[in-house]
């Protein structure tokens, strides 16, 4: 915990910790009443935070045997190239200097600015979360010479909550849907959802925005609008305006109601950040320096062990690495963690001194009569592929009396409700694309493939009554072993998560563009310990 210190690192001590982890058959559910400490009200100064984490010390003989941390620790952002910018203490000052978007006299912007200014608690929560991520996002935008107003886009999209999940099935601070994530090679599987990964999702979001900026002739307003409703929707509106002989800039296009409020919302937030005092606010400072560094750990690691070695809470480690679905990292990588910046070198040394077996504790298990790999995978809640990989087994066959390796503790979900049904395949299942033929319906396709029609509809973002046309493509999820039965649901549906999530949206009833923003905010179903966010 912050403020405490391990006097010395000893391998036996780590072994004892691993034994404790191995004894845990499951992970307690997160306490939904626990919230991150918020910044004081925006009219007040920030209070002192907790002490910096301290990494366990490594004996000299182990230090001499481990590789240099230079090869293991990296900053996700490029080195500072501007001394004046580096000398700033508050990242908000840096953002203000990087504004590039043209202002507009559109009345909706002033109305939205007043609306946001009237929600200081929302602003507190949003920028308290952003404290971990904002410097990184700003530096990435600078490296691409993009407007720094775009650093405020996640405030509009998700209130900077990496666990925000919408009924449109968008996830993370940048609110990617699964098809867009695949398009930009964001990794989503049983172990992790890269849409929640701060580094990978930011890379993908800025790639997408840059493409849109080029696609729409260097017009950032059109690019941001297309980020919200899709490039096809914006292009259709432009084509329609051209045919009618009307202007084709954002302010004159006939776009969806939400999108018409989306760009003004970003500009309104930018106005507040530019001059908080004008709106009766005083933003708490966010340090203009890295919050985290990236450490290569080399192989799969138990996140509870990593938190112990860092001497930080498991919650803090997961806030820096929100992509992980389980209490262990993906065995296929990428094998890196984001950790508090100041302790990264020592943590890298400590992890490098541990064998693979110590990083991810395993147990030797003797197969009993009648046991199968599928059954063991189901009991341990892990994919069959994980057992195969751990044991170098190419087939799914096991023999009585055979010794195999299994995870020493159940690789349980990190948080209740974190894994949303339909986003990742169930253990022992795979997905493939199905091309709809003439005359087929969701019901007929579901029957032919032995899945429930509701499951098929939900997996593809449809309703059970959706009309299909020949040539449409659907995602089908089937058992690796072609078991012909309807799958049991093992995770909550997005609708169930949304219904169970406490909200604070009753006061979002402003008219016009503000109502459009509130309509978007109402779609957020927050899958996190912070149960208050849905007003984003």
List residues with catalytic annotation: 157
Between CA 188 and CA 165 the distance in angstroms is: 14
Give 92's contacts (C-beta < 8 A, 6+ positions apart): 273, 283, 285, 286
How many Å from the N-terminal Cα to the C-terminal Cα in the chain?
30
Question: How do 473-479 and 524-526 pair as beta strands?
Answer: unpaired
What sign does the CA torsion over 232, 233, 235, 240 have? Answer: positive
* Residues facing 515 on adjacent strands: none
Between CA 440 and CA 425 the distance in angstroms is: 24
Provide the b/e sequence for 433-457 (b: ≥16 CB within 10 Å): ebebeeebebeebbeeeebebebbb
- Three-state SS for 77-114 is CCCCCCHHHHHCCEHHHHHHHCCCCCCCCCHHHHHHHH
Between CA 433 and CA 440 the distance in angstroms is: 15
Give 148's contacts (C-beta < 8 A, 6+ positions apart): 94, 95, 96, 97, 98, 99, 100, 138, 141, 142
DSSP state of 353: T
Other Cβ atoms within 10 Å of 391 Cβ, number = 17
Strand order across the 73-74 sheet: 73-74, 292-296, 336-340
Compute the C-alpha angle 218/114/91, nearest 5°: 60
SS3 303: helix
Between CA 112 and CA 473 the distance in angstroms is: 40
Tokens of 98: 């990087």
CB 292 within 8 A of CB 137: no
CB 165 within 8 A of CB 171: yes
Q: What are all long-range contacts of 377-384, with beta carbons under 8 Å and residues at least 24 apart? A: 377/427, 377/428, 378/427, 378/428, 380/406, 380/407, 380/410, 380/411, 381/410, 381/411, 381/412, 381/427, 382/407, 382/411, 382/427, 383/190, 383/427, 383/428, 384/427, 384/428, 384/480
């Amino acid at each position: 915990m912050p403020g405490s210190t391990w006097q010395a690192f000893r391998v036996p001590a780590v072994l004892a910790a691993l034994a404790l982890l191995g004894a845990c058959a499951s992970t307690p559910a997160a306490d939904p009443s626990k919230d991150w400490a918020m910044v004081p009200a925006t009219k007040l100064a920030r209070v002192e935070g907790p002490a910096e984490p301290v990494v366990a010390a490594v004996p000299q003989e182990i230090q001499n045997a481990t590789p240099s941390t230079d090869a293991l620790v990296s900053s996700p952002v490029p080195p500072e190239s501007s001394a004046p910018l580096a000398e700033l203490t508050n990242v908000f000052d840096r953002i203000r200097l990087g504004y590039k978007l043209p202002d507009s006299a559109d009345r909706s912007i002033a109305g939205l600015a007043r609306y946001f200014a009237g929600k200081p608690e929302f602003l507190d929560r949003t920028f308290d979360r952003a404290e971990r991520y904002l410097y990184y996002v700003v530096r990435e935008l600078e490296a691409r010479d993009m407007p720094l107003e775009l650093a405020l886009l996640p405030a509009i999209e998700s209130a900077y909550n990496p666990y925000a999940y919408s009924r449109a099935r968008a996830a993370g601070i940048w609110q990617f849907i699964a098809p867009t994530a695949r398009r930009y090679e964001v990794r989503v599987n049983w172990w992790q959802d890269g849409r929640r990964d701060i580094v990978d999702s930011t890379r993908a979001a800025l790639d997408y925005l840059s493409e849109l900026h080029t696609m729409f002739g260097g017009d950032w307003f059109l690019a941001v609008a297309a980020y919200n409703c899709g490039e096809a929707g914006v292009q259709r509106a432009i084509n329609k305006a051209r045919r009618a002989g009307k202007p084709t800039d954002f302010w004159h296009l006939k776009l969806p109601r939400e999108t018409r409020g989306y760009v003004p919302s970003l500009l309104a937030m930018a106005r507040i950040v530019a001059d908080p005092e004008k709106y009766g606010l005083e933003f708490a400072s966010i340090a203009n320096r890295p919050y985290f560094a990236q450490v290569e750990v080399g192989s799969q690691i138990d996140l509870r062990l990593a938190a112990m070695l860092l001497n930080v809470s498991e919650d803090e480690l997961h806030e820096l690495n929100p992509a992980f679905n389980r209490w262990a990292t993906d065995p296929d990588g990428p094998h890196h963690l984001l950790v508090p910046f100041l302790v990264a070198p020592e943590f890298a040394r400590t992890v490098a001194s541990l064998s693979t077996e110590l990083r991810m504790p395993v147990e030797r298990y003797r197969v009993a009569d009648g046991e199968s790999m599928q059954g063991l995978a189901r009991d341990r809640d892990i994919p069959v592929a994980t057992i195969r990989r751990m044991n170098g087994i190419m087939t799914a066959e096991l023999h009585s009396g055979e010794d195999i390796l299994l995870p020493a503790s159940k690789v349980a979900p990190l948080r209740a409700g974190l894994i949303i049904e339909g986003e990742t395949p169930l253990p022992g299942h795979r997905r493939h694309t199905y091309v709809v033929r003439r005359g087929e319906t969701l019901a007929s396709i579901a029957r032919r493939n032995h899945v429930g029609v509701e499951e098929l509809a939900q997996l593809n973002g449809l309703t059970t009554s959706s009309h299909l046309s020949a040539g449409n493509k659907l995602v089908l999820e089937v058992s690796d072993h072609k078991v012909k039965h309807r799958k049991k649901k093992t995770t909550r549906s997005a609708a169930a998560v949304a219904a169970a999530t406490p909200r604070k949206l009753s006061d979002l009833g402003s008219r016009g563009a503000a109502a459009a923003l509130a309509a978007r905010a109402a779609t957020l179903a927050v899958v996190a310990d912070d149960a208050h966010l849905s007003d984003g």
